[in-house]
Amino acid sequence: MADAIGSLPPLDIVRAPEAGEIGPVQVSWRLALREFAENKLAVAGVVVLLFFVLFSFVGPLVYHGNVLHSDLSIANSPPVQGHPLGTDAEGFDVLGELMYGGQASLEIGFLAAIFAIAVGALWGAIAGLAGGLLDGFMMRIVDILLSIPFLFVVLIVSVRFGANVLSLSLIIGAFTWLVPARLVRGEVLTLRVRDFVSAARTAGATRWRLINRHLLPNALSVIIVNVTFNIADSILTVAYLGFLGFGLQYPNYDWGDLLNNGTNFMLDGYWWLIYPAGFCLIATVMACNLIGDGLRDALDVRMRRR
Amino acid sequence: MPVTAYLIRRCGTAVVILIGISIFTYLLLHIVYPSPARSVLGPKASLAAINAWNRAHGFSGSVFQQYWTYVDGLLHGNLGYSFKLNQSVAALFGERWERSAYLSGVSLVLSVAIAIPLGIYQAVKRNSVGDHVATTLSFTFYAMPDYLLYLVAIQLFAIIWRVFGPEGSQSASMTGVVLDWRDMTLPIVCLTLLVLAGYSRYMRSAAMDTLAQDYIKAARAKGLPERLVLYRHLARNAMLPMITLVGLSIPALLAGNLICETTFNFPGLGLLFFNSLQNEDYPVLLAYTLIGAVLTVLGNLLADVSLTVADPRIRLT
């Protein structure tokens, strides 16, 4: 079918692709959803992620842990009545802190991923559609930035500019849009020679409309899968920044910062300062990875074995 | 001749990317740290003194001139000068690179050596107990912040059971570091586990893709013993994506090395980077970023070239 780009294809070909045609297969969302629902691990991931979203954002409305007034008389107390997960060195309630820390971790994860995908998808779509010199130039920029160790640059920039949720999300997003850009470009390259794109072009669609209405929606499956993995990676990146001491600044803190505080008391055996925060991080990141894997299996028809 | 043409073109791309990287690191350095004059001459230095110092050390003039001075220095092996440590960056790296290379190199070799058989085993015995255990472990390690594993390992093996040392070897000589198994076991084993977590997931799916190929069916159909099917047909083909993966994962390996050396206080390049972050010693930071980027480009180049050698099916067009 690919030789029909120049000619005017009848529009109904879009609805009836020829048998054995290779290329990005149209995603059937209903089928994908069913496939996803059958994947127990992925569903467990959704449940865990939902739990932590509720825990962090609705939890503080229900459970009022003291995270504002330090009380050294109960500092570093193991779990007791009123403090189900004990207290930290300031006498703050650990469970309450986990809820607020979760807000920052999840917000940064989502914001950074959305920022990255917005920039990356647009960049990749423009490069893929433009082709030629512009494509080469845009993708060389991606190659260059992709060769530079991500954590190093993020650390250097956040020493200078880091501090709150928004700036850290922007910094992380500014260096994670590269992989989505590559993925979307690859997808657009195969999509742009398809008949429905030529049809839209002949019908007089502008480039912006082509990208916006025809290319990106069809590359959506790739985009969604990448967002889930990006969320997981961003949450971990902030945790690394927090551990190295260049993350959020008080009164903002994330799970990584809590974990980092806890590790100061490793020798004292204050397990409640370390393992709950570590568990939250691992469980959330793992849930995002499981969802991503599940989505990839469900959306990528080539992976569908059954 | 197509191989030579391909190699020339591939090297050409690599050179373009290297030039781009030098521009990027220079601009980053220029933006966050335009001139070290203030930190060298002190807060009370006059503007005239600062301007004179800038002129004498190549920090004046247009951005293009300064960039050219920077690149000229790089091409002559001058990576910059750390005014905080009063030592050239090259000398600082020269003292430390062997330790990082040892730590990362051993972990990388171990992870590849374990990931290949493990991934094949998991693919062949899919959904067995062993597969589930390995998958669960690799998912856990993959989702874990590196330092959590290190800290748990330090608490268990160094503090409670006292089998290994709590920090990396502090020995001054490289031989001392290599022989100091008591202090080096924990960093190497933990780093291996973390790298392995990513690699084995990848290897498992590569092996599963290969298992579905027709030549495996053909090999089984002609009555080849299963052991030979696995060694001759499955392993050789499933290993190919690993070459690309190792090339691609160099930035992640360097980041892993940074966290590992910081947690275990092991005086390699990663710990130097961390200390320089705290001192805001930008020449060191950007020189290491540049070296990391160059290593990545070279790693990818090497991976692409060795893949064309290892896989004759790749057609060079």
pLDDT tens for chain A, residues 1 to 306: 333 333 333 333 333 444 444 445 555 677 778 878 888 888 899 999 999 999 989 888 888 877 777 777 777 777 777 777 777 777 788 888 888 889 999 999 999 999 999 999 889 888 888 878 888 888 888 888 888 888 888 888 887 776 788 888 988 888 888 888 888 888 888 887 778 888 888 888 888 888 878 777 777 877 888 888 889 889 998 888 888 888 888 788 888 888 888 877 777 777 778 888 889 999 999 999 888 888 887 776 554 443
Which residue in chain B has the smallest CA separation from A140? B17
Query: How far is it, in rounded angstroms, from Cα B227 to Cα B222?
Result: 14
A48/B contact by beta carbon, under 8 A = no
Residue numbers in B near A296 (CB within 8 A)? none
How many Cβ atoms sit within 10 Å of the Cβ of residue A298? 24
A290/B contact by beta carbon, under 8 A = yes
Query: How far is it, in rounded angstroms, from Cα A258 to Cα A56?
Result: 14
Going along chain A from its start, the domains and CATH numbers come out as 2-59+101-303 (1.10.3720.10)
What CA dihedral angle connects B183, B188, B194 and B196, to 10 degrees?
-150
> Amino acid identity of A36?
F
SS3 (DSSP) at B88: strand
Residue numbers in A near B146 (CB within 8 A)? 240
User: Which of B13, B25, B100, B148 is the best substitution to test chain A (most A C-beta atoms within 10 A)?
Assistant: B148
Give how far the C-alpha of residue A194 lies from the chain's centroid of Cα atoms, to the nearest Å. 29
Going along chain B from its start, the domains and CATH numbers come out as 90-310 (1.10.3720.10)
Q: What is the pLDDT of residue A162?
A: 63
Residue numbers in B near A246 (CB within 8 A)? 277
Query: How far is it, in rounded angstroms, from Cα B77 to Cα B156?
Result: 44
DSSP-assigned letters across all residues of B155-193: IIIIIIS--S-SS----SSHHHHHH-HHHHHHHHHHHHH
Instruction: Confirm if A184 and A125 have CB atoms less than 8 A apart.
Output: yes
Query: How far is it, in rounded angstroms, from Cα A220 to Cα A28?
Result: 12
Tokens of A295: 């989505």
Beta strands in chain A (DSSP E): none
Instruction: Confirm if B183 and B169 have CB atoms less than 8 A apart.
Output: yes
Does the distance separating the beta carbons of A243 and B143 come in below 8 Å?
no
Beta bridge partner(s), residue B88: B81
SS3 (DSSP) at A93: strand
ipTM (interface pTM)? 0.85
Instruction: Confirm if B100 and B257 have CB atoms less than 8 A apart.
Output: yes
User: Which of B127, B136, B147 is the best substitution to test chain A (most A C-beta atoms within 10 A)?
Assistant: B147
How many Cβ atoms sit within 10 Å of the Cβ of residue A201? 16
Where are the alpha helices (H) located in B173-281, listed in sequence order?
174-179, 181-211, 214-221, 226-228, 236-238, 240-248, 250-264, 269-279
A266/B contact by beta carbon, under 8 A = yes
Query: How far is it, in rounded angstroms, from Cα B213 to Cα B220?
Result: 11
SS3 (DSSP) at B82: strand
Q: How many CA atoms lie within 13 A of A45 on its CB side?
A: 24
